[in-house]
């Protein structure tokens, strides 16, 4: 706006200067021309008083005037008697306007282009009674005077224009200064207080400034409230355990929290504006979003990177037009895995219970049907029924025990010496180990920790019993207890058959057996290591192992002291 003001002022000044200059030139030219013509007439009148001889008149006027004059004497029939500026025969001048006027009125004048002089010329004719004397001078002489003055005029006009530009710039700056200050005061992000008293000299701007100041304060309050609300929403979404995505009507992402990114596409940059297809190309997820268009909302599951996710999609509409969607994503991987474990557990329990029951029922039918008559057969099959019953009872006891551990049904933790518990386990398994010529060695130091003594005994017992069961004749089982800082480490090591690498990830699963035939021979239920794992978790510890087929296994249990 400032540029427009000073340009407008400069243009107006320059236009006025040019117009005044042209008007001055025209008026001056007319005044000078009239004065020159008047001087020519006066000089001609004076010259006629001396003589009517054309040559003498020309001589007199050439000496008395400061410009070149031409004298022509013309007869009443138009014949040129004398011509001071031309030698030779000339055209008849009877039709010349000034001649005609002089013959009628005694005097005549005209201004036109002269063929003789090839210039524009001013003519003045006088009727002398016996002939007409005509005086003339070149009008270009007057123009030349003003043409010579043009450079001086241009210099003066240029100076005036420069002064006008400078003045207009300063004037526009002065005019716009309060406007600029007011514009700066309208910046809603400027926290400084507006000083209205600075504009007292600009009375016209005070009402607007007061209005702007009030609006600015209201905007600050509104922005602060929006910022607070935004921060609150951002805090909530950032700490949500569910993923949340906001989409517009074209399925472009308006907002997305970090949980949604971690669940669906961890490599995606946390930014809005891109389409949901750029975020993920999971066909099941995109199909759910597409299905949500046909209804107010939908829900469904999809999987990403071995994780099972459930999406709750609600479409937002206004005036019968879809305007976006809200998507909540919940990680149901653990629920899904627990469901699989439950189904597998049910199947395994059914199988583990069905097998011994079927065997017991078969032998019982044989006994009741008289198919087994001899005392040796009765004794032998009776022992089989007894063994299967014990196996069935072991499975049931282990299932009950595992259920108790999962439900955290236990006595209060007490300080117990773990080395003492290890010694008790070794003593309990001494005879069983001696049957297979397996030695049990104990090392370490006394280490107390807050534990459930019964559960820790069962943990060490299961690990040691497995080390004995899955060992070779003449093998060794080494138990140790060590204490480091605020933890206690129990190690059970053997040099037995070991665990093949392909079974490492599944040995803690319920009813999982590395060697099923060997487990049945040793009476294993497949729940021992699962119980060990749950007891360790109950004590907020961790368990790990190292094993290689044919070389043995090392189990390490770390418990907080």
Give the mean pLDDT of 233-256: 82
- CA distance to 15, 29, 161, 427, per residue, from 21 (Å): 10, 12, 12, 130
Among 159-168, 327-336, 473-482, 534-543, the minimum mean pLDDT is found in 159-168
Check whether 196 has a pLDDT greater than 50. yes
pLDDT of residue 482: 92
Q: What's the pLDDT band for 439 if we cut at 50, 70, 90?
A: very high
DSSP H or E segment with residue 107:
strand 107-114
Encoded tokens for 323: 């305007």
Give the mean pLDDT of 368-391: 75
- CA 478/CA 412 separation, integer angstroms: 30
pLDDT of residue 205: 62
Residue 448 C-alpha from the chain's centroid: 57
Average pLDDT, the chain: 77
pLDDT of residue 506: 78
pLDDT of residue 518: 46
Among 62-71, 81-90, 210-219, 244-253, the minimum mean pLDDT is found in 62-71
Q: Each residue of 321-352: pLDDT tens digit?
A: 557 888 899 888 887 777 776 676 666 666 66
Check whether 491 has a pLDDT greater than 90. yes
Could you tell me which residue, 85 or 465, shows the higher pLDDT? 465
Q: Calculate what percentage of the chain has a pLDDT beyond 70.
A: 74
Q: Are 519 and 526 in contact (CB under 8 A)?
A: yes
Residue listed under structure tokens 């395994």:
348
Q: Each residue of 127-158: pLDDT tens digit?
A: 887 788 888 877 655 455 566 667 777 787 77
Check whether 44 has a pLDDT greater than 50. yes
Residue listed under structure tokens 């400061």:
66
Residue 377 has phi, psi (to 5 degrees) of -65, -40
Check whether 67 has a pLDDT greater than 50. yes
pLDDT of residue 519: 46
Check whether 406 has a pLDDT greater than 70. no
Check whether 123 has a pLDDT greater than 60. yes
- CA 107/CA 90 separation, integer angstroms: 22
Check whether 505 has a pLDDT greater than 70. yes
DSSP H or E segment with residue 46:
helix 2-50
Could you tell me which residue, 436 or 196, shows the higher pLDDT? 436
């Amino acid at each position: 706006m400032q540029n427009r003001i000073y340009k407008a002022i400069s243009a107006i000044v320059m236009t006025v200067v040019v117009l005044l200059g042209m008007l001055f030139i025209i008026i001056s030219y007319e005044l000078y021309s009239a004065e020159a013509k008047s001087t020519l007439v006066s000089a001609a009148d004076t010259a006629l008083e001396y003589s009517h001889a054309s040559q003498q008149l020309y001589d007199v006027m050439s000496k008395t005037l400061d410009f070149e004059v031409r004298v022509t004497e013309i007869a009443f029939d138009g014949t040129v008697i004398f011509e001071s500026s031309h030698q030779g025969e000339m055209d008849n001048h009877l039709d010349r306007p000034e001649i005609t006027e002089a013959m009628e009125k005694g005097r005549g004048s005209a201004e036109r282009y002269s063929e003789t002089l090839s210039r524009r010329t001013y003519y003045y004719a006088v009727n002398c009674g016996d002939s007409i004397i005509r005086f003339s001078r070149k009008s270009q002489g007057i123009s030349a005077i003003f043409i010579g003055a043009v450079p001086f005029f241009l210099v003066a006009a240029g100076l005036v224009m420069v002064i006008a530009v400078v003045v207009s710039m300063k004037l526009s700056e002065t005019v716009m200064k309060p406007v600029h200050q007011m514009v700066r005061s309208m910046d809603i992000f400027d926290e400084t207080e507006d000083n209205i008293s600075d504009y007292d000299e600009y009375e016209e701007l005070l009402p607007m400034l007061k209005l702007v100041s009030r609006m600015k304060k209201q905007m600050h309050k509104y922005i602060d409230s929006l910022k607070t609300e935004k921060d609150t929403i951002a805090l909530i979404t950032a700490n949500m355990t569910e993923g949340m995505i906001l989409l517009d009507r074209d399925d472009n992402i308006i907002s997305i929290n970090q949980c949604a990114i971690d669940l669906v596409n961890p490599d995606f940059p946390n930014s809005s504006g891109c389409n949901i297809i750029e975020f993920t190309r999971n066909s099941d997820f995109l199909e759910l979003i597409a299905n949500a268009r046909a209804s107010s909302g939908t829900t469904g599951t999809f999987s990403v990177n071995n994780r099972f996710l459930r999406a709750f999609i609600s479409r937002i509409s206004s005036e019968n037009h879809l305007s976006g969607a809200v998507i909540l994503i919940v990680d149901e991987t653990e629920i899904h895995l627990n469901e699989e474990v439950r189904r597998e557990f049910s199947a395994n329990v059914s199988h583990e219970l069905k097998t011994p029951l079927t065997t017991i029922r078969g032998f019982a039918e044989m006994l009741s049907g008289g198919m087994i008559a001899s005392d040796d057969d009765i004794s032998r099959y009776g022992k089989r029924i007894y063994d299967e019953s014990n196996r069935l009872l072991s499975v049931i006891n282990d299932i009950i025990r595992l259920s108790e551990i999962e439900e955290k049904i236990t006595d209060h933790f007490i300080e117990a010496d773990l080395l003492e518990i290890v010694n008790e386990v070794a003593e309990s398994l001494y005879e069983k180990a001696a049957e297979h010529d397996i030695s049990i060695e104990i090392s370490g130091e006394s280490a107390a920790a807050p534990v459930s003594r019964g559960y820790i005994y069962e943990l060490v017992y299961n690990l040691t019993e497995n080390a004995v069961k899955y060992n070779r004749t003449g093998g060794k089982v080494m138990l140790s207890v060590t204490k480091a800082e605020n933890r206690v480490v129990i190690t059970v090591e053997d040099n037995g058959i070991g665990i093949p690498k392909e079974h490492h990830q599944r040995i803690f699963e319920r009813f999982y057996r590395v060697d099923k035939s060997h487990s049945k021979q040793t009476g294993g239920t497949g729940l021992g290591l699962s119980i060990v794992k749950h007891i360790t978790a109950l004590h907020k510890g961790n368990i790990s192992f190292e094993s290689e087929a044919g070389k043995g296994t090392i189990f390490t249990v770390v418990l907080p002291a």
